[in-house]
């Protein structure tokens, strides 16, 4: 994708989400697994597709919100009934929990959506043929994408709304989850989450981080976005990556961790880069509040808000806090994203990865200054591939971290 040929910022964002991921999913043996029908596949499917919905009575469904003001919840509840969109592949699953009861509900309008990189998260552009305020919609998807089956149960919905409140209170640059719908009751209740769209102002582009270093599957001869931004800017590739990308990512992760005990997962899909065409104004943002919570940090800070029902270290998570922190920082951010940026810069510009690593160490040391104990372990933790994907566990890889 060539930036000088993108007329509308929304087109640039959607093209980046869908087509600029070539070569970016080699970080694990599970990374490129997407069990989805071809019509709904982000890279190979239709330009858009329709998601059916159901009008669910109060006895079966409810809408959850948080403290973030938004008009979006109004699309999903009419005051009496929940409007529940369901991914076509999920609806086709014979073992979808509550499927018989769902099909007895009154059909609602179709949602016109465009698939995003995650496949089960879509971009909503119209409901019942009427244009609405565009936004992202994360759907229950009881099929496998990458390492896990992507069910979206009630505890996860509550977690994401809770974390969104925490990040908003910190002033974090992120796309906020503002509501979630829940169908059914008990441990298998499932639903959806509504998330704000990225800034799509004229003259400004927003793309997932992987789109900076990923190839275009439609035009593999095109230079990557990183190459195009370095070319039009006034900085070297090393300076651009270190100061415009790596430093704000590190500061964002550390601030959320040490100020709220929220361990963000800033890999290539969850990290967003917003920039002007001349590369002078660049911002790093975050999306997806389905993160881990460190209650020890929160207690130290005197934060006594009741914790969410899942992803709490020491509660439903038995892995050590240091290992979970390393998973999110060293593996998700470092190995899954920044290593790709560094390698592309080495190949295309002759940049020295060690220079980028040293710059990251300086930023990290400054960001954690004053924290009373080591925030991260001496070595990198990652998933143990010997464990079944749905029953994950961590292992100490013994590898020294590069990005701190």
Provide CATH 1.10.510.40 ranges for the chain.
204-396
Percent of the chain with pLDDT over 90: 85
Please write the tens of the pLDDT for every residue from 237-254: 999 999 999 999 999 999
Question: What mean pLDDT is reported for the chain?
Answer: 94
Please write the tens of the pLDDT for every residue from 200-237: 888 889 999 999 999 999 999 999 999 999 999 889 99
Q: What pLDDT is stored for residue 3 in this prediction?
A: 86
Task: Flag whether pLDDT at 389 surpasses 70.
Answer: no
Please write the tens of the pLDDT for every residue from 57-90: 999 999 999 999 999 999 999 989 999 999 999 9
Q: Tokens at residue 89, please?
A: 């592949």
Please write the tens of the pLDDT for every residue from 275-331: 998 888 999 999 999 999 999 999 999 999 999 999 999 999 989 999 999 999 999
Task: Flag whether pLDDT at 154 surpasses 80.
Answer: yes
Task: Flag whether pLDDT at 143 surpasses 90.
Answer: no
Measured from the Cβ of residue 227, the count of other Cβ atoms closer than 10 Å reads: 17
Longest dimension (CA), the chain: 62
Task: Flag whether pLDDT at 386 surpasses 90.
Answer: no
Q: What pLDDT is stored for residue 387 in this prediction?
A: 72
Packing angle, helices 247-260 and 154-170, rounded to 10: 110
Please write the tens of the pLDDT for every residue from 22-66: 999 988 888 788 889 999 999 988 999 999 999 999 999 999 999
Packing angle, helices 225-232 and 339-349, rounded to 10: 60
Q: What pLDDT is stored for residue 149 in this prediction?
A: 81
Q: Do residues 325 and 262 make contact, with C-beta atoms less than 8 angstroms apart?
A: no
Band the pLDDT of 148: cuts 50, 70, 90.
Answer: confident
3-state secondary structure of 30: coil
Task: Flag whether pLDDT at 183 surpasses 90.
Answer: yes
User: What is the distance between the alpha carbons of residues 56 and 43, in angstroms, rounded to a whole number?
Assistant: 32
Percent of the chain with pLDDT over 70: 99
What is the value of pTM for the model shown?
Answer: 0.95
Band the pLDDT of 127: cuts 50, 70, 90.
Answer: very high
Q: Tokens at residue 371, please?
A: 């924290």
How far CA 161 is from CA of 37, 79, 186, 265, 364, in Å, comes to 29, 20, 19, 16, 28
Burial class (CB in 10 A: 0-12, 13-18, 19+), 335: buried
Average pLDDT of span 156-182: 98
Please write the tens of the pLDDT for every residue from 187-201: 999 999 999 999 888
| Choices 3.40.50.720, 1.10.510.40, 3.40.50.300, 3.30.930.10: CATH for 204-396 | 1.10.510.40
Q: What pLDDT is stored for residue 232 in this prediction?
A: 92
Q: Do residues 135 and 65 make contact, with C-beta atoms less than 8 angstroms apart?
A: no
Q: What pLDDT is stored for residue 146 in this prediction?
A: 80
Q: What pLDDT is stored for residue 318 in this prediction?
A: 87
Burial class (CB in 10 A: 0-12, 13-18, 19+), 155: middle
């Amino acid at each position: 994708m060539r930036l000088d040929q993108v007329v509308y910022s929304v087109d640039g964002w959607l093209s980046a989400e869908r087509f600029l991921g070539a070569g970016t999913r080699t970080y694990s043996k599970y990374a490129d697994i997407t069990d989805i029908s071809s019509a709904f596949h982000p890279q190979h499917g239709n330009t858009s597709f329709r998601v059916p919905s159901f009008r669910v009575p109060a006895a079966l469904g409810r809408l959850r919100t948080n403290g973030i003001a938004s008009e979006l919840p109004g699309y999903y509840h009419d005051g009496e009934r929940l409007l529940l969109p369901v991914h076509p592949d999920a609806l086709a699953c014979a073992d979808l929990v509550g499927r018989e009861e769902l099909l007895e509900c009154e059909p609602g309008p179709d949602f016109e959506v465009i698939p995003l990189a995650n496949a089960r998260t879509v971009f909503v552009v119209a409901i019942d043929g009427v244009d609405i305020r565009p936004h992202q919609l994360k759907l229950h998807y009881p099929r496998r994408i990458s390492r896990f089956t992507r069910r979206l149960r009630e505890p996860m919905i509550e977690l994401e709304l809770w974390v969104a409140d925490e990040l908003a209170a910190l002033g974090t640059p992120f796309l906020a989850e503002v509501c979630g719908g829940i169908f059914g009751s008990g441990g298998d209740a499932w639903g959806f989450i509504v998330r704000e769209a990225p800034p799509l102002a004229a003259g400004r582009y927003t793309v997932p981080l992987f789109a900076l270093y990923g190839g275009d599957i439609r035009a593999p001869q095109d230079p990557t976005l990183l190459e195009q931004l370095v070319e039009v800017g006034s900085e070297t590739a090393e300076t651009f990556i270190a100061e415009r990308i790596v430093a704000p990512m590190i500061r964002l992760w550390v601030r959320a961790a040490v100020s709220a005990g929220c361990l963000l997962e800033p890999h290539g899909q969850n990290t967003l880069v917003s920039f002007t065409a001349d590369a002078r104004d660049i911002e790093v943002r975050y999306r997806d509040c389905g993160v881990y919570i460190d209650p020890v940090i929160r207690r130290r800070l005197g934060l006594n808000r009741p914790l969410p029902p899942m992803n709490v270290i020491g509660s439903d998570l038995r892995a050590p806090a240091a290992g979970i922190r390393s998973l999110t920082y060293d593996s998700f951010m470092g190995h899954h994203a920044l290593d790709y940026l560094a390698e592309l810069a080495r190949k295309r510009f002759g940049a020295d990865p060690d220079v980028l690593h040293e710059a990251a160490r300086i930023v990290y040391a400054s960001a954690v200054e004053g924290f009373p104990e080591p925030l991260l372990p001496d070595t990198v933790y990652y998933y143990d591939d010997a464990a079944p994907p749905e029953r994950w566990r961590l292992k100490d890889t013994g590898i020294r971290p590069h990005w701190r």
